Amino acid sequence: MKSSLVLSAKLRRKRLEKRMMAEGVVAASAPALEPSLSDECVKPFTPEQAKEIVMSLQNPAVFCNMTFDWPALHWNVSYLAELLAEKKIPFRMGTKNMDTAPLFETECSYVAATLEEFLAWSRRHPPCSSGPFSGYDLCKYWTYADYKYIVKLFEDNSEHFQDVRWSDFGFFGRNGRESTLWIGSAGANTPCHLDSYGCNLVLQVQGRKRWHLYPPEDSSFLYPTRIPYEESSVFSKVNVINPNLESFPRFKKAQAHVVTLDPGQVLFVPRHWWHYVESIDPITVSINSWIELDSDHEARIEEAITRTLIGAIKSTEKPSASDCWLNPTEVEMTSYETNLQYLNGAVSTYLQHQKTSKTEHRDTGTPETEGILPDKCKRIKVQVNAELEGFKSMPSDPHLTIIKTKKLKQIPFGPSLFQVLPQDWETNPTGEAESDCTDILNEDEGHFGELDCGGKTSIINSSSGALVDHKNPCGGTSSTQTSICTNDLLDCVLNPQVISLIAHLLLEKASV
């Protein structure tokens, strides 16, 4: 019996190898098949060096030659289709038209399908006269299996968590369990947004994706959709590929950093960088992991305060009046009880982290410096109960250790590490980007945004993202305004300085 199982496993492995070869998977994608490959190749950076680089980078950059021995490079769709067998996965469907408005997730239709069915549809074989994609013409639609948490997707194949090796970047103990899988067809995209927390590492596995990135100081040109609320992303109202410049004239000043990510490359996206991502090949697969930063703990408290205040104040108005305060991917406002639970969880997590950090520094004798925590920071989308679980105590896994690293004065750019530069900037001999653009704000001074429902110019703070009223110093408040509305009150209450003060007062009270 045992020998037959072994034989079956070998035959299955052979079938996978043949399918990978038929699809043109390079030899470097299969280190287990050629054990001598990793002996002949040397990675350009040690885990400690890679961690120092990630800690020092202020702009997006691409790492090369760091993943040639990762088993995750096997993960093309054919391999995953056999591995996941008949498991149904939700696919988001979008149209390939050139609308000037972004297509947000809540505006898309969804189908549940296996990866084998996705492959058949993407190859047009057999003709899509039946099956979950039968109503979608490949010429008119794209599809995206996005935000697929590997820990759930591979719950019956947990041994494959180790195929993803973020430890090569200094994040020891982090693997597929803390990662997310993305599978799409040509044209699949994520609307332009910034992630409220952490930084991002993205491995391209199959096909190519094009990334359009914008620095935090360009927030005023990207017309943010909301103040921080339930979702851990802030979206842009602009379709950056086909912008409506009459409605969003400031977008002309936005400075796009564009890069096409090839298989085997890893993109680093710094904290609060805006990004629009699109698949440019018929099938794409990528894996990412959001790396939590020390500074995220306090930012979560500020967002929890914001959502609690909004929920308490806006719930007194008609339901329609609160819609413009929600992120476009939200489905409804959460209850006051839920928001308060969220706030308590954020405060508890912050205090526990502070206590743990002080204990570790006292034991090791090392000074406290800004570090990166090995904890998941991106919350599951549109699932309130799941997101509240994110504020439980830090994982007790002894392999998940906090690594404090020094910041490099000079980053070793070269063939194995290149920075993603603005489209119309040039690079001087030292590798530093130059620009004569002067119409930007300092990141610490806040970013300009626009509040949908009030029609006022606002400031979006770089740390919390909260929008506040920015009065015209010459004109002041309109003389026709005769009363103060809820939005006027919230503009003042949600001032980043007010939110930050409330957060510190709450922490001081909770620390006693």
- DSSP helix/strand/coil, 242: coil
Tokens of 139: 């010429």
Cα 248 from Cα 99, distance rounded (Å)? 14
Is residue 472 in some structural domain? Answer: no
Q: 462 — alpha (psi -120 to 50), left (phi > 0) or beta? A: alpha
* Span 262-321, pLDDT tens digits: 999 999 999 999 999 999 999 999 999 999 888 888 888 888 888 888 888 877 776 555
We report the CATH number of the domain holding residue 25 as 2.60.120.650
DSSP secondary-structure letter at 63?
A: E
pLDDT in 10s for each residue of the chain, 512 residues: 434 434 444 444 455 455 544 444 443 333 333 334 444 579 999 999 999 999 999 999 999 999 999 999 999 999 999 999 999 999 999 999 888 999 998 899 999 999 999 999 998 755 556 689 998 999 999 999 999 999 999 999 999 999 999 999 999 999 999 999 999 999 999 999 999 889 999 999 999 999 999 999 999 899 988 665 556 788 999 999 999 999 999 999 999 999 999 999 999 999 999 999 999 999 999 999 999 888 888 888 888 888 888 888 877 776 555 456 666 776 677 788 888 888 898 899 889 888 887 776 566 555 444 555 544 444 444 333 333 333 333 333 434 444 455 678 899 999 999 999 998 644 443 343 333 333 333 333 333 333 343 333 333 333 334 333 333 333 344 444 457 777 778 778 877 788 889 999 999 989 87
DSSP secondary-structure letter at 168?
A: G
391 and 377 in contact (C-beta within 8 Å)?
A: no
Kind plus residue range of the DSSP H or E element containing 400: none
Tokens of 511: 């620390």
Dihedral angle of Cα 436, 439, 442, 443, to the nearest 10 degrees? -100
Is residue 378 in some structural domain? Answer: no
Cα 370 from Cα 507, distance rounded (Å)? 19
Task: Tell the residue number behind the tokens 């190898």, with chain if given.
Answer: 17
Determine the pLDDT at residue 325. Answer: 64
The total number of structural domains in the chain stands at: 1
Is residue 72 in some structural domain? Answer: yes
Determine the pLDDT at residue 263. Answer: 98
| φ, ψ for residue 22, nearest 5 deg | -65, -30
| φ, ψ for residue 118, nearest 5 deg | -65, -45
Cα 350 from Cα 329, distance rounded (Å)? 27
Which residues form the domain of 126? 15-215+255-292
Is residue 116 in some structural domain? Answer: yes
Is residue 117 in some structural domain? Answer: yes
- Output the CA angle 177-182-187, nearest 5 degrees: 170
Is residue 314 in some structural domain? Answer: no
**Helix 77-84 to helix 2-22 angle, to the nearest 10 degrees?**
150
Is residue 31 in some structural domain? Answer: yes
Is residue 159 in some structural domain? Answer: yes
